[in-house]
A and B are shown apart, each in its own frame.
Chain A
Amino acid sequence: MEINGEIRNELFEYLLRLGDDRLILGHRLSEWCGHSPILEEDIALANIALDCVGQANGFLSLAAEVENKNRNEDDLAYFRDETEFKNLQLVEQPNIDFAYTIVRQFFVDVFSVPFYEELSKSKLEDLAGIAAKSLKEAKYHLRHSKSWLLRLGDGTEESHKKIQNAVDDLWRFTGELFFENEVDEKLIKDNYVPSAKAIEVQWNEEVEKVITEATLKLPEEPNTSLRAGRNGDHTEHLGHILAEMQIVARSHPGAKW
């Protein structure tokens, strides 16, 4: 793949963000395996986790290729430290309960569908390809998280309370979905990637619509956080995820099975 040297660093950084978001979210979802409320939901969450890790694999492979420093996707996933991870703080938030898991997923899915629609038009063919494949998966993920949000919000008194609680707690992490800096500016200008900011209005409308239909309320406070995962600043949760996720690869470097 021919990469214009002038954008190599930006593209690498951007692909890490995409890959890390999905790797960390996929890992979080995988923690449900064997613990879900019912067998069918166990399989559903494991499916979505695998989709996310599969997408991460695509983005991180491409990142490694773009970086061209003899690293592969596994090196990027297992041998980077916390501050080198560029994922959103939203995706590293703990599962806590099923409501938190669904709300976190819903916030991400509502973003992912329009984002992948735009990303699949990237002039970088490999990137457009991963986006097109991921779009189909994201549409299903949204159907899943949205239908649970509606059912739990408009369900029993207890389910309503739990899901409203999750909405209130996770809301402050959602502003970061629309993070942009000079990395984005350069890539957007050259038609490599879409603008995340441009999706914000649509995201707000859709989230508000579904939240209202679920008889829930969005918090009135702004959804901006002080620090950004995109800059490598993370909540205390990421370190624990990485410790668990990376220990095998780091204890047995180069192991094959």
Chain B
Amino acid sequence: MGASSSTSELERVGECVWELPAASRPDMRVPVRVFADEELLASIVDDRSLEQAANVATLPGIVDASLAMPDVHQGYGFPVGGVAATETPDGVVSPGGVGYDINCGVRLLALPLTADELAPRLEALVHELSRAIPAGAGKHGALRLGAGSFDRLLREGPRVLVEELGVGTAEDVERTESGGCLPGADPAAVSARARERGFGQLGTMGSGNHFVEVQRVDRIFDRHVADAFGLREGQATVLVHSGSRGLGHQVCTDYVRLMDAVEARYGIVLPDRQLACAPQSSPEGRAYLAAMAAAGNFAWANRHAIAHAVRETVRRVLGAAAAAGTHQVYDVAHNIAKLERHGGRELCVQRKGATRAFPAGSDELPEAYRAVGQPVFIPGSMGTSSFVLVGAPGSLELSFGTTCHGAGRHLSRTAARKRVTGGELRRELAEQGIVVRCPSNPGLAEEAPFAYKDVERVVEVVERAGLARRVARLRPLGVVKG
């Protein structure tokens, strides 16, 4: 564990920005910058996330600051909601800085009908979604590829599903961060064990906080941008949260182990063993980036396959016209490392529980969104709202074009289970009109809404800090939990 950082050394440097100076600890190379108001800051200093962000500030090659988003909470190595950008080519990359669920992320689908029109079939839709999308641990999906196609999918992402299986559309791929394909992916860098874990899991949700949620757009904050995203008040939407499943978990496991073994060779000394890292230019760093890209492409293909299952379910429950009119708004990653240009420098931006939020004008965005900015989706929890945001102009300078990724936990899973049972929570949500399908009562209780921070406050701080702007609020109608 790292040396302790005194919260009393935090300096307020903006309305919603706090800084822990680099001089706070002898091993910090840059300051820690926290985006929060007073209330969120009180929660942040209550766990070890600030200490973990200070540990990240010790990474060789880190530039500007170790960042903590408003939803930051204690993780392992990096805090969840932490961002570090390192110089290329010799700054380090840390597999733990991306996390085990490589390219965990969120995809939003918009249905061509209102929530009121959906209401008579809502329960049937949620029930059929729970049957169509395998949830829970392991669980094998319906989509199977041959070994050659699987390698191609690791290199190229979801476009392979469109071209080889007719699953999804080319427009879905275009409306995915990075076109659903990180360059440099090398299937040979992915271990046999990682392949074995992931091979049958395409189109599966996984467990923990993963979900598929049916929602209603209950408020529009920015009509112009909402129009560009194809969203209108009262509309029904489906939000998908999943990642790279066992394949990504094993890639991270493999490379944390490798970097832990070799970092001394590069003279790297770390305050937390889980920060294990190596220079990007080293053989280990290059291999990790190639394997991580493959896992990232797998994750985009996984959410693409889940979205296909959603459309097929909509077809069965609501008809062919509803399925044909269901369009993908966008898909964002929130656990990933990417090479990006910021301030004239090429950097390796490592986002752990943090979402890219590029403003209007970025070449990285699909044509349809270039004039308004990148869509960002911030899931709340089962009983609270989720938000659609758009990257704000200042985000590039403030946060390497990054914002938060969710509400952020503030209660442990054990504490959540002590406060409510899964059965009680099902009844409470039902009383709010929210249909729930979850294979595990304890698993449901662990994800209770009160275990999370107030998402409304988190996105308000995001907006006040200038990282992103609110576009729409989405209310849950039905949830399928992993």
A and B: bona fide binding partners:
no
Which B residues have a C-beta under 8 Å from some C-beta of A?
none
